[in-house]
């Protein structure tokens, strides 16, 4: 096996590889967290937003007079007022435009139409009901297929030159080589599937508290933001405020999962209201507002075809994808890649040719495209390839595990360039899958499945072996709205040897305050408990693009290791001075700096820290601090083998999960306990998406799924038990060999759950059931197969 674990340092230092308990938890579980809605400022006003009840309509008139007359209402803001300040529309992170408050039309149910600012949040809510809007209904388009029909009305007629509802067309790979491989294939296997709309649904909804000082022009904005620095720059660009006067503070976040990456109209209106009124204004969404109007994820209609030879070797992949973007193209994704990193759809397999054609359409729905715990559309890609390979196994009569072993990229092929241009850094896929198969007892399960089938019982074994591409990204290819996707860390060691680490990334519950301190602990030997981690306040931390797409460890973690190494180099020089030796002869281990070969001639990192401010060699600059901006040379490519075992009740279609075995490889694990927590969370979300979560829309564009009674979040009761395994093949280009892991399980597991259900029915000829795999869909598939 190619697993390489980094040697563990001393437990009292608590560096990389130790399951250090999360520093942030004491504060969070004892009610000392500081979330947006906890923050109160003197004279603060409250804002509530009026949202469109209809999905597509022309606004004939808005009458705010009754609302304005209520006691406690300070102002009613409409699109017209915003337009007077040039703020009725704003740019999106994908280079589109989005209405801040509607002026001409509403284009989805839940769109922002007006806002009330009042002395009390309840008065603001009550006043919304007194605003009278006259809507003239327009035809509603709820699917991209409807939207691209010849006679479809143009949803974005606000955009000059926009003739239909097509948002983009984009392709990757080589059409000619792919066509040639298909022409030469023995077999072609296809699958059409829809990855439905889902919602990140963080427990804390989105909000802003804006405090713009009319005298100094200083704008302090507390924001539920996964990317505070990027948001600051975009606020400066949109609102024309000088960037040095904008301070974004992203306080404790109650989850983000991609939902807190976009800039929402509420943020802009609250800031504008504070600017106009000269008082702090707070806005925080209700649960339903969050579910109907903020960024949705997925909604990809996918058709995939595999060309194979008779032995089951894949020769080529062809994919057509159509995405439902909603009314505004607001994805936050790298500018070059219109469908995010969907072109990683070739997955874990070695073949020469692929061609991917992607298009997106405007519809009368809230904006989609949020990378919900996902590196820019990798979840959809991983789902498609893993469902396709499973389908090919049935069509060719090859075991689903066997077909994967036949086609895996082999360990000696890394670095491996895929036909769509990714260069996978490292991996050992055969070991991962065989380890997981052994753990689950695959052969015995297949035998049990055959016996059960003979008795009319349904058992299914679903496999998914995913490869992710995370850590966006190298500046040569990756930017969002022109901002290169680098990240940074600033480290200061104080005279007493205690340190403060400041990050461009921003935790939303992933444990950065612990794991990033562990990186410093390993590099410098300062105990992890002596290191404070700061993040989220743009006045106090160095620039970065933020936390999403599992980029924190690959980019921010690398920056942390690099800045610690800069300090380690200076620490060696200082130790050499103190020990009267040459810097090159100084070694460091567990917080001791000693002369190579004579370990008794040593000083501690704490001695060195004090000397950095008191006793330096001539000419050396005082202090022990630095900053590093990291531009990753490549993405990192974590992977995993997931196996799900289900039993289905043929009478009702209800399925129950018997086992989930999940093997992950994220290279070097900084904190195994936190990594396992991330995987538990991701598996739970994958289970939810595949089994129960569904946001749908009726033909009038009404969102069905606007609360937690309709959009189901699994509790401990429904969630299966997870059996976790790991291998550890380091990333060769990451300073500590780590790859991202935060989203691995959300990406990899939906296909494993669906594959398990389909596997139980494969002998009946069932090849696909779209997510969510609800019992009635399973039952209908069984009925259709038996008739
Ligand atoms: O960007 P995000 O924090 O969501 O994802 P990540 O970089 O994959 O990290 C999620 C959490 O797992 C962080 O606390 C990481 O530092 C930790 N992690 C780890 O301990 N070892 C790894 N190889 C990767 C992540």
Q: Kindly state whether residues 779 and 669 are assigned to the same domain.
A: yes
Q: Kindly state whether residues 609 and 467 are assigned to the same domain.
A: no
For residue 554, give the ligand 1 atom closest to its CA: 7
Mean pLDDT of 603-612: 98
For residue 739, give the ligand 1 atom closest to its CA: 23
Pick from 357-361, 400-404, 621-625, 712-716: least confident: 712-716
Q: Kindly state whether residues 48 and 130 are assigned to the same domain.
A: yes
Mean pLDDT of 616-645: 97
The gap from C-alpha 483 to its chain's centroid, in whole angstroms, comes to: 18
Q: Is the CB of 550 under 6 A from ligand 1?
A: yes
Among 557, 741, 745, the mutation site with the greatest number of ligand 1 atoms within 8 A of its Cβ is: 741
- Catalytic position from the list 206, 358, 374, 703: 374
For residue 511, give the ligand 1 atom closest to its CA: 14
pLDDT in tens, 407-434: 999 999 999 999 999 999 999 999 999 9
Q: Kindly state whether residues 56 and 129 are assigned to the same domain.
A: yes
CA 684–ligand 1 middle distance (angstroms):
17
Q: Is the CB of 667 under 6 A from ligand 1?
A: yes
pLDDT in tens, 567-578: 999 999 999 999
Q: Residue 167 pLDDT more than 90?
A: yes
Q: Residue 118 pLDDT more than 80?
A: yes
Domain boundary among 630, 645, 677: 630
pLDDT band at 705 (very low <50, low <70, confident <90, very high): confident
Rg of the chain over Cα atoms, rounded to whole angstroms, equals 27
Would you call 374 a catalytic residue per the annotation? yes
Protein residue closest via CA to atom 16 of ligand 1: 515
Q: Residue 2 pLDDT more than 80?
A: no
Q: Kindly state whether residues 58 and 117 are assigned to the same domain.
A: yes
Q: Is the CB of 260 under 6 A from ligand 1?
A: no
Q: Kindly state whether residues 640 and 624 are assigned to the same domain.
A: no
Q: Kindly state whether residues 416 and 501 are assigned to the same domain.
A: no
pLDDT at site 1: 44
Q: How big is the CA angle at 89 (ends 85 and 90), to the nearest 5 degrees?
A: 105
Is the residue at 586 inside a domain?
Answer: yes
Q: Judge contact between 483 and 670, C-beta under 8 A.
A: no
Q: Residue 450 pLDDT more than 80?
A: yes
CA 13–ligand 1 middle distance (angstroms):
20
CA 557–ligand 1 middle distance (angstroms):
8
CATH number, position 109: 3.90.1170.50
Is the residue at 148 inside a domain?
Answer: no
Domain boundary among 598, 630, 662: 630
Q: Kindly state whether residues 494 and 466 are assigned to the same domain.
A: no
Is the residue at 19 inside a domain?
Answer: no
Is the residue at 564 inside a domain?
Answer: yes
pLDDT at site 8: 82
Cα separation, 377 vs 144, in Å, equals 17
Cα separation, 79 vs 55, in Å, equals 18
Q: Kindly state whether residues 670 and 764 are assigned to the same domain.
A: yes
Would you call 325 a catalytic residue per the annotation? no
Q: Is the CB of 744 under 6 A from ligand 1?
A: no
For residue 744, give the ligand 1 atom closest to its CA: 8
pLDDT at site 5: 64
- Catalytic position from the list 24, 112, 289, 743: 743
pLDDT at site 214: 87
Cα separation, 681 vs 203, in Å, equals 13
Q: Kindly state whether residues 698 and 555 are assigned to the same domain.
A: no
Q: What is the span of the domain harbouring residue 528?
A: 25-33+487-630
For residue 740, give the ligand 1 atom closest to its CA: 8
Q: Judge contact between 66 and 130, C-beta under 8 A.
A: yes
Q: Kindly state whether residues 595 and 510 are assigned to the same domain.
A: yes
Would you call 380 a catalytic residue per the annotation? no
CATH number, position 730: 3.30.365.10
Cα separation, 288 vs 708, in Å, equals 9
Mean pLDDT of 196-213: 96
Is the residue at 535 inside a domain?
Answer: yes
Q: Residues in the chain, how many? A: 787
Is the residue at 348 inside a domain?
Answer: no
- The pTM of the full predicted model, rounded to 2 decimals, is 0.97
Q: What is the percent of the chain with per-residue pLDDT over 70, rounded to a whole number?
A: 99
Cα separation, 583 vs 571, in Å, equals 9
Cα separation, 432 vs 69, in Å, equals 67
Q: Judge contact between 104 and 61, C-beta under 8 A.
A: no
* Count of structural domains within the chain: 3
Is the residue at 577 inside a domain?
Answer: yes
CA 555–ligand 1 middle distance (angstroms):
11
pLDDT in tens, 38-93: 999 999 999 999 999 999 999 999 999 999 999 999 999 999 999 999 999 999 99
The gap from C-alpha 119 to its chain's centroid, in whole angstroms, comes to: 36
Mean pLDDT of 724-741: 98
Give the strands of the sheet with 625-630, arranged side by side.
531-535, 499-503, 487-493, 625-630
What number of CA atoms fall less than 13 Å from residue 275's CA on the CB side? 20
Q: Is the CB of 256 under 6 A from ligand 1?
A: no
Cα separation, 502 vs 564, in Å, equals 12
Domain boundary among 630, 659, 686: 630
Is the residue at 354 inside a domain?
Answer: no
Q: Kindly state whether residues 382 and 453 are assigned to the same domain.
A: yes
């Amino acid at each position: 096996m190619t697993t390489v674990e980094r040697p563990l340092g001393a437990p009292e230092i608590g560096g990389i590889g130790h399951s250090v308990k999360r520093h942030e938890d004491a504060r969070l579980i004892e009610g000392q967290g500081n979330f947006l809605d906890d923050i109160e400022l003197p004279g603060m006003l409250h804002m509530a937003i009026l949202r469109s009840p209809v999905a597509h309509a022309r606004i004939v008139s808005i009458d705010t007079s009754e609302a304005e007359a209520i006691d406690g209402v300070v102002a009613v803001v409409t699109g017209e007022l915003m337009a007077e300040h040039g703020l009725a529309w704003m740019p999106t992170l994908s280079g589109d435009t989005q209405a801040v408050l509607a002026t001409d039309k509403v284009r989805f149910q839940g769109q922002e139409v007006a806002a009330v600012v009042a002395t009390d949040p309840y008065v603001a809510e009550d006043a919304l009901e007194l605003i009278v809007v006259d809507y003239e209904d327009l035809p509603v388009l709820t699917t991209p297929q409807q939207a691209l029909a010849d006679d479809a009305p143009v949803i974005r007629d606000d955009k000059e030159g926009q003739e239909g509802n097509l948002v983009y067309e984009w392709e990757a790979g080589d059409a000619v080589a792919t066509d040639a491989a298909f022409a030469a294939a023995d077999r072609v296997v296809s699958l059409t599937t829809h990855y439905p709309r889902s919602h990140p649904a963080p427990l804390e909804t989105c909000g802003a508290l804006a405090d713009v000082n009319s005298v100094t022009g200083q704008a302090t904005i507390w924001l539920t933001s996964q990317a505070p620095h990027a948001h600051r720059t975009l606020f400066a660009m949109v609102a024309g405020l000088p960037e040095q006067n904008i301070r974004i503070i992203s306080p404790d976040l109650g989850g983000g999962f991609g939902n807190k990456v976009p800039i929402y109209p509420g943020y802009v209106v609250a800031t504008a209201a504070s600017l106009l009124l000269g008082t702090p204004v707070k806005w925080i969404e209700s649960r339903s507002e969050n579910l109907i109007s903020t960024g949705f994820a997925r909604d990809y209609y996918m058709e995939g075809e595999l060309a194979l030879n008779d032995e089951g070797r894949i020769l080529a992949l062809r994919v057509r994808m159509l995405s439902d973007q909603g009314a505004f193209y607001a994805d936050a994704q790298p500018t070059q890649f219109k469908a995010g990193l969907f072109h990683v759809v070739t997955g874990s397999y070695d073949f020469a040719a692929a061609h991917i054609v992607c298009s997106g359409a405007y519809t009368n729905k809230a904006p989609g495209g949020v990378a919900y715990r996902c590196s820019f559309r990798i979840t959809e890609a991983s789902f498609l390839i893993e469902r396709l390979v499973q389908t090919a196994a049935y069509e060719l009569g090859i075991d689903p595990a066997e077909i994967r072993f036949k086609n895996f990229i082999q360990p000696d092929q890394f670095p491996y360039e895929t036909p769509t241009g990714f260069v996978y850094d490292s991996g050992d896929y055969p070991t991962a899958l065989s380890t997981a198969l052994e753990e689950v007892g695959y052969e015995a399960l297949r035998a049990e499945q055959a016996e059960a089938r003979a008795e009319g019982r349904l058992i299914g074994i679903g496999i998914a072996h995913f490869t992710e591409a995370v850590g966006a990204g190298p500046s040569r290819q990756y930017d969002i709205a022109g901002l290169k996707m680098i990240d940074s860390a600033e480290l200061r060691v104080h005279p007493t040897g205690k340190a403060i680490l400041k990050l461009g990334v921003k935790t939303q519950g992933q444990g950065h305050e612990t794991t990033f301190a562990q990186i410093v602990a390993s590099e410098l030997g300062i105990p992890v408990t002596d290191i404070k981690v700061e993040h989220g306040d743009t006045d106090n931390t160095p620039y970065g693009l933020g936390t999403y797409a599992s980029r924190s460890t690959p980019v921010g973690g690398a920056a942390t290791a690099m800045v610690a190494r800069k300090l380690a180099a200076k620490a060696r020089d200082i130790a050499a001075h103190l020990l009267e030796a040459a810097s090159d002869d100084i070694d460091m281990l567990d917080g001791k700096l000693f002369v190579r070969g004579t370990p008794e001639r040593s000083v501690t990192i704490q001695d060195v820290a004090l000397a950095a401010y008191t006793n330096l060699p001539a000419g050396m600059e005082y202090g022990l601090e630095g900053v590093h901006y990291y531009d990753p040379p490549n993405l990192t490519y974590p992977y995993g083998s997931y196996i799900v075992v289900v039993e289905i009740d043929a009478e009702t279609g209800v399925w129950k999960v018997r086992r989930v075995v999940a093997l992950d490889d994220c290279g070097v694990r900084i904190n195994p306990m936190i990594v396992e927590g991330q995987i538990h969370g991701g598996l739970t979300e994958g289970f939810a998406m595949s089994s129960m979560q569904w946001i749908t829309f009726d033909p009038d564009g009404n969102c069905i799924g606007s609360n937690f009674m309709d959009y189901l979040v699994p509790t401990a009761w429904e969630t299966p038990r997870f059996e976790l395994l790991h291998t550890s093949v380091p990333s060769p280009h990451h300073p500590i060999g780590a790859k991202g892991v935060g989203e691995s399980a959300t990406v990899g597991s939906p296909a494993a759950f669906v594959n398990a259900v389909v596997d139980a029915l494969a002998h009946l000829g069932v090849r696909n059931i779209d997510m969510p795999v609800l019992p009635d869909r399973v039952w209908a598939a069984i009925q259709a197969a038996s008739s």
